[in-house]
Structure 1
Amino acid sequence: MQRRKFSREFKLEAVKLVRDRGVTMAQAARDLDLHINVLRKWVSDHGSDPGGAFPGHGQMRPEQLEIERLRRENAKLKAERDILKKGRGLFREGLDMKFGFIAKHRGVWPVTWLCEALGVSRSGFHAWLGRAPSARARSDEMLGARVRASFIASYRTYGARRVWHDVLAEGQPCGLHRIERLMRQQALKARPRRRGLPRDDGQRSVIAENVLDRQFSAEAPNQKWVADFTYIWTAEGWLYVAAVIDLFSRRVVGWSMSATMAAQLVTDALMMAIWRRGKPDALLHHSDQGSQYTSEQFQRLMADNGVTCSMSRSGNVWDNAAMESFFSSLKTERIARKTYRTRNQAKAEVFDYIERFYNPTRRHSTLGYLSPIDFERQANVA
């Protein structure tokens, strides 16, 4: 078995997931398909000097512990503020109304925080939950909770059809129209799509033929990869995100992010893909005619690894539609209507979307509503 390799960028984002975003070590290791001891070592190596690249092995300094405590306390205060804002008017109501609000929003905030904010006890809430409602109300409540959990887990991007497949996968038989009704009752509406950003118009040099020819399917992994990069605006300027997708499972097998759109950006993304999937055999790599992909640096990397080059025709985005679809989903489901103060904030968002949602969880209509990783597991891909 080939030893897995990870870029410095991947390790830094994985550490930030645990240190800065409140994800538990065990959960992050599961989401990223890492052994927990590997992730724990990365966090430990990074802990003594966050400004460097894994410089030490010490524990967090006292001032760092205090910062972490204040961050957690601040998160709880913000949650209490949002709970009181959303639940205003409930203080004059009876316990049933308060408990109903808690039951409706316990997928958003912890029950403990909800009970403290509304001045009720957890034991009282759980006793209220134990009362026997009618069979119809019981069924709708149970199914409605699953619908909302699926919707929130998709970062509020799933429509009724994808939520329906989530519910069916949990073994709950129901109709699509019932899912639509329960989503309407809870005001759960997927984010609309919006127009993307302009394409790169850099200088071109050597242009390859369109070997892929819009054949966006593959019989096995590592036969056809598509690649491109996109732009995300931050207060510090543009962040450029390059990605490589395996058309067999639509899995993002390589990515890279940079403040510049030099050839190194797309080279790093391809290198990550090769590290993850192993040196390819009879692989076709398809991209647009951007100057980064026609550069000597990138073309030499493909030649050294025996990769066949394919490129879209000039000005024809449909020749790389699978890649365009991924970036459209990224922007619609995660980036749209958000403002990033720093490139690091945008990097963390993209990392989370790819490694913790899109690859392991997001249901893909092309794959029969399986996630890319689940699709590969069913196909017994190592």
Structure 2
Amino acid sequence: MPRTRRAFTDEFKREAVKLVKQPGARVTHIARDLGIEQSVLRRWVSQEHGGVMDMRANKPLRSESASEVERLQRELRRVTTERDILKKAPRLLCKGPAVKYAFIVRHQDVWPTRAMCRAMNVSASGFYEWFGRAASAHSQADARLTRSIRESFELSDRTYGSPRVWHDLKAAGEHCGLNRVARLMKLAKLQARRKRRKLPGDTASRLENHIAPNHLQREFEASQPNQKWVADFTYIWTAEGWLYAAAVMDLYSRRIVGWSMSDTMQARMVSDALLMALWRRGKPAALMHHSDQGSQYTSEEFQQLLKSQNITCSMSRRGECWDNAAMESFFSTLKTERCARTVYQTREQARADVFDYIERFYNPFRKHSKLDYLSPVQFEERQRLMG
């Protein structure tokens, strides 16, 4: 894929600067996660400090949530596990070793043995001697593998099932089978959140739109970047009311190439998402843009934008969500893996979380089954090197 000079919307810059301003944040880590140069991010921060960048373009960006410091994630997971163990047995610390060993036996299917020994301040060798036998080589291997499984599961924000965890372990050099990973995840009670399925619409209402026909025809594959983009928007509830999020996906790599968020549901929002995609990917020579028949996409403002960029407009049939299944799937994944876990107090909190999910997890890291378990960014990079 040819390299083009990247441009970023003010909305992207504000959210990136907001991440840098969080306690414990590091420019190097954030720049790497967002796929941008450190110098670029530092320049944005300097512009914000100097008053050049208008942080008040929408509303003051004041997020109460702070990003986890990446270098402390491993230690945090260990401390969290030990905390959970001690919450289950708060009075055992002052008991003798035999009482602690009995607790460890009863909860071996919940936590790793060595983690419980460490939390209880007893030696693992002492426990195995009390237990009557040393742990078998297979049990020790299972315990070690379970730790790696738990690490992959936690790094995915507890969203990966056994197939994606298995591919994570393979990439790290582990030699194990998918069934073994599934078994150990079940024993450790590590279960990804299940997606909620939608029923198809009424076939009687599947009508072509008078604005544009369905050129895509559910062909959700593309041989090159910037051939087929699909777009949609969704609603995210907060204590302040709805936040509306629009996104544009390149079907070549399933990468979210453009997005925009707004307090109101207007055509400007979907236009901003498309403009971000164009600024990021350059002006494509022959591009199809597919969406549903929402009033935002049929508006004169949006249609004029498509025409000015020589983009072919394609639209789903009315009442047929499967015509835009790839975009529906992304928003379902976003809500299942991130939004459903949090009660957002403000729109800005939700805005920051959606930005974090798209730019710091989904695009650069989330493994996609249709991409041979690579992330969208990894897939594009591999194809670029192969080409």
Q: Deviation at 1:137?
A: 3.6
Matches within 5 A, 1:34-53: 34-47=36-49, 52-53=54-55
Rounded to whole Å, the distance in 2 between the matches of 1:369 and 1:219 is 18
Whether 2:235 is the aligned partner of 1:231: answer yes
SS of 1:230's partner is strand
Matches within 5 A, 1:215-254: 215-254=219-258
Match of 1:87 in 2: 86
**8 A Cα contact 1:47 1:54, kept in partner:** no
Deviation by residue 1:293-312 (Cα, 9 ceiling, x = unmatched)? 11111111111111000000
Q: Deviation at 1:45?
A: 2.8
* Closer/same/farther in 2, CA of residues 84 and 281 from structure 1, 3 Å limit: same
Q: Which amino acid in the other structure matches residue 361 of structure 1?
A: F
**8 A Cα contact 2:164 2:373, kept in partner:** yes
Q: TM-score, with normalisation over the residues of structure 1?
A: 0.79
1:209 pairs, out of 185, 208, 213, with: 213
**8 A Cα contact 1:208 1:309, kept in partner:** yes
Q: Deviation at 1:227?
A: 0.3
In structure 2, stretches of 5+ residues that fail to align are 70-74, 105-110, 127-133, 202-207
Rounded to whole Å, the distance in 2 between the matches of 1:36 and 1:350 is 22
Rounded to whole Å, the distance in 2 between the matches of 1:175 and 1:254 is 37
Match of 2:164 in 1: 162
In structure 1, stretches of 5+ residues that fail to align are 56-63, 106-114
Deviation by residue 1:60-118 (Cα, 9 ceiling, x = unmatched)? xxxx9xxx9xx9xxxx99x9899646523252365997xx879649xxxxxxxxx9xx7
Rounded to whole Å, the distance in 1 between the matches of 2:345 and 2:51 is 23
Deviation by residue 1:25-67 (Cα, 9 ceiling, x = unmatched)? 2111111011112212222332467994299xxxxxxxx9xxx
Moved more, 14-23 or 226-235: 14-23
Matches within 5 A, 1:60-209: 84=83, 86-88=85-87, 89=89, 91-92=93-94, 104=115, 135-194=137-196, 207-209=211-213
**8 A Cα contact 2:47 2:53, kept in partner:** no
Q: Deviation at 1:207?
A: 1.7
Rounded to whole Å, the distance in 2 between the matches of 1:196 and 1:258 is 26
* Closer/same/farther in 2, CA of residues 177 and 80 from structure 1, 3 Å limit: closer
Whether 2:379 is the aligned partner of 1:375: answer yes
Q: Which amino acid in the other structure matches residue 86 of structure 2?
A: G
SS of 1:341's partner is coil
Match of 1:30 in 2: 32
Q: Which amino acid in the other structure matches residue 234 of structure 1?
A: T
Identity of aligned residues (%): 54
Matches within 5 A, 1:298-337: 298-337=302-341
**8 A Cα contact 2:224 2:252, kept in partner:** yes
Q: TM-score, with normalisation over the residues of structure 2?
A: 0.78
**8 A Cα contact 1:226 1:287, kept in partner:** yes
* Closer/same/farther in 2, CA of residues 206 and 300 from structure 1, 3 Å limit: farther
Rounded to whole Å, the distance in 2 between the matches of 1:104 and 1:339 is 31
Deviation by residue 1:173-198 (Cα, 9 ceiling, x = unmatched)? 1111210121122211111223679x
